[in-house]
Amino acid sequence: MPYALTFSHVGLFVTDMDPMVDFYTGFLGFAVSDRGPREAGGEICFMTRDPAEHHQLVFATGRPGDLPFNMINQLSFRVDSLSTLRELHRGLCERGMDEIRPITHGNALSVYFRDPEQNRVELLIDTPWYVPQPYRVPVDLSLHDEALWAGIERQVSRVPGFMIHADWKRNIEDRIAAADAARKAGLS
């Protein structure tokens, strides 16, 4: 029997709590569900965009300001539509956020940027296609919907390994079932 695992939340150490909470609540629309002192000192803030989840994102103070690199590869948030993705892209540009990059991975249309503490953030919508990863091609979000989607489909359909997402989904379901069977056999 497979484990019933779903992703719940992520927690990040932050250097300066207020600008981070302001950005994630003000621009991305998270609501603070709880905020208070940490047992280890400093502060912790719980945020969510889903009333069924107490928190999806947690910030805790304690991140040194002089780290030579960022431990976070990226935080990714799925949005509901291309129009929302475009609206957020415009808002990021208006705010002057760092490293704003609209791209396609073939399986997603994304906008990447850096948050106030330089964590890479991805806003994305899914596409109906799959291409082997990594795949990263810049896109022009100013194109009309039909031209944007047709251009992406033209590009990705030429990539070796391209398939319709439903076919990829069946393939990955088989892989998960095989991994669960192997795990179960190893426990016997």
Task: Read off the pLDDT of residues 44-79 as tens digits, 9 standing for 90 and up.
Answer: 999 999 999 999 999 999 888 888 877 788 999 999
* Peptide bond preceding 134 in cis form (omega within 30 of 0): yes
State residue 66's pLDDT score: 84
Stretch 8-25: mean pLDDT: 93
Stretch 151-176: mean pLDDT: 95
State residue 5's pLDDT score: 67
- The residue assigned the tokens 């956020």 is 97
Stretch 92-116: mean pLDDT: 96
Burial pattern 24-51, b for ≥16 Cβ within 10 A else e, equals beeebebeebeeeeeeeeebbbbbbeee
State residue 32's pLDDT score: 96
Averaged confidence pLDDT in the chain: 92
- The domains found in the chain, sorted by start residue, are 8-65 (3.10.180.10), 72-188 (3.30.720.110)
